[in-house]
Amino acid sequence: MQASTQLAVHIRAVTKTFGTGEAAVRALKGVDFDARQGELLMIVGPSGCGKTTLLSVIAGTLDFEAGEVEVFGSSLHGMKPREVTEFRKRHVGFIFQQFNLIPTLTLIENVCVPLLINGTGRRVAEQKSAALLDRLGLQGRGHELPRNLSGGQQQRVAIARALVHEPRLVICDEPTSALDKDTGALIMELLRDIARHPDRTVIVVTHDNRIFKHADRLTEMEDGRVQRVHDQAGNSGENGGSSLFPPSPKLIT
């Protein structure tokens, strides 16, 4: 059943436990979460509260035990594993917290991967990848290996790889953590451009209060659940008024 085609992501009562018995960790404890089409949504919350786990569930890279996950109106539960993989390849760009670059491939080859697996020819893929690396300030570096780069430069390559196939849903886990202020602002501009498309959505997990101002809405997670949702107008889903725009230092963990 479809909850709403206007929502990019619709999640209800999702639970996820890692491990069993004494060692079990309940990472998601019945989380409810929505992301709209055409918005840039940020997720904040203390370390270990389940942010990366939630992103992985949305991206279809992690199974969950109970609850409902719909992405662009399709239930992930209702899809076969192959359909989930196909959906992810086409429509999702994921910027991982650990950049996950392939060490034996050059920067251009790393960025090309999503285009090649979606059937784009190598020449076009390489041109597009090089152009995006240029835009992200890595002109002339495309034929180097990732190990030659600083953390911030590697992060920019990971960002290029997530965006190059123009996915409808961009999911970013701490995309500015290794970047200086100016480069962080450049990345946020790029993400904002994507969210201006009415049928595209950007979800960003962050601890970086300098970038809160770029969000349309901000979701606060705590202990495996969403606690509050704030919008730019200062409205809050829970306590009706407190605003994280401009950022509240209390929120930073």
Ligand X SMILES: Nc1ncnc2c1ncn2[C@@H]1O[C@H](COP(=O)(O)OP(=O)(O)OP(=O)(O)O)[C@@H](O)[C@H]1O
Q: How far is the CB of 245 from ligand X (least distance, A)?
A: 21
Q: How far is the CB of 49 from ligand X (least distance, A)?
A: 4
Q: How far is the CB of 99 from Mg ion (least distance, A)?
A: 13
Residue from 33, 42, 52, 186 in contact with Mg ion (CB under 5 A):
52
**CB of 172 within 8 A of CB of 190?**
no
Count of residues binding Mg ion (CB under 5 A)?
Answer: 2
Partners of 201 in the β-ladder: 169
Residue from 27, 42, 71, 136 in contact with ligand X (CB under 6 A):
27
Q: How far is the CB of 142 from Mg ion (least distance, A)?
A: 29
Q: List Cβ neighbours of 183 (8 Å cut-off, separation of 6 or more).
A: 137, 152, 156, 176
Q: What is the CA radius of gyration of the chain?
A: 18
- Long-range CB contact pairs, 130-137, < 8 A, 24+: 132/160, 132/163, 132/164, 133/107, 133/108, 133/157, 133/160, 135/190, 136/160, 136/186, 136/187, 136/190, 137/183, 137/186
The piece of 23-31, 32-40, 48-56, 146-154 that touches Mg ion (CB under 5 A) is 48-56
Which does residue 121 touch among Mg ion, ligand X, none (CB within 5 to 8 A, set by kind)? none
Residue from 2, 4, 5, 19 in contact with ligand X (CB under 6 A):
19
52 binds ligand X (CB under 6 A): yes
3-state SS of the chain: helix, strand, coil percent to 5? 35, 25, 40
Q: How far is the CB of 197 from ligand X (least distance, A)?
A: 27
Contacts with ligand X by CB under 6 A lie at: 18-19, 25, 27, 47-53, 97
Contacts with Mg ion by CB under 5 A lie at: 51-52
